[in-house]
A and B are shown apart, each in its own frame.
Chain A
Amino acid sequence: QKEVEQDPGPLSVPEGAIVSLNCTYSNSAFQYFMWYRQYSRKGPELLMYTYSSGNKEDGRFTAQVDKSSKYISLFIRDSQPSDSATYLCAMKKSYNTDKLIFGTGTRLQVFP
């Protein structure tokens, strides 16, 4: 079993839709959770960074963490064609410098 599971998609939605992206994990030691966006043939770009359980909002993006269920989510409101990319969840155990464990990524396509 992988430490972090993520549905690879692809997920195809119309412009303006609300998108929900999810990851589950098995190691309860993970404390810090991130979402990265990766455009084709580019490096990952940090979108959201959260600690422990709860919600965090930044513009059209909301990250949720439910540690009791070992489940994290990223919501994108009013999705745009420019949101079309692969979304990677990542997590680490320590607040200090520590390696990231990534999901396999979900490919999202937003069509006009």
Chain B
Amino acid sequence: NAGVMQNPRHLVRRRGQEARLRCSPMKGHSHVYWYRQLPEEGLKFMVYLQKENIIDESGMPKERFSAEFPKEGPSILRIQQVVRGDSAAYFCASSPQTGDGTDTQYFGPGTRLTVL
């Protein structure tokens, strides 16, 4: 059973370009979370999605950032007009919906975004 998959693993963009980060959850998992990790900092929650629905986007910056989890295909985190401050590691996590308290989150390897 493959784990959470993210691609690309490394992404370099120039200021003003768009960045698209992809996440495929573990098989059988219907919940996807995106987190951002800045250097020397812990992971910060960005957004929580289920298929075709955004459940909680309280951690998303108000501008330039968007996320989706379509019925078919991976979840996408999109950053428009990137700035140097967007340089970070972006992690995706997925969890099943068990309802019994065991729905922990399993993380992918991350996408490291560098903005030049």
Contact = CB atoms under 8 A, between A and B. Distances in A.
Please classify how large the interface on chain B is, using the bins under 10, 10 to 19, 20 to 34, 35 or more. Answer: 20 to 34
Interface string A82-112: 0000001010000111011111110000000
A46 to B, nearest CB: 6
A41, A43, A95: most-surrounded residue (chain B CB, <10 A): A43
Nearest to A4: B42
> How many of chain A's residues touch chain B, expressed as a range?
20 to 34
- Of B42, B43, B105, chain A has the most CB atoms within 10 Å of the CB of B42
Interface of A: 4, 6, 8, 32, 34, 36, 41-46, 49, 51, 88, 90, 95-97, 99-105
Interface of B: 4, 31, 33, 35, 40-45, 48, 55-56, 58-59, 91, 93, 95, 97, 99-110, 112
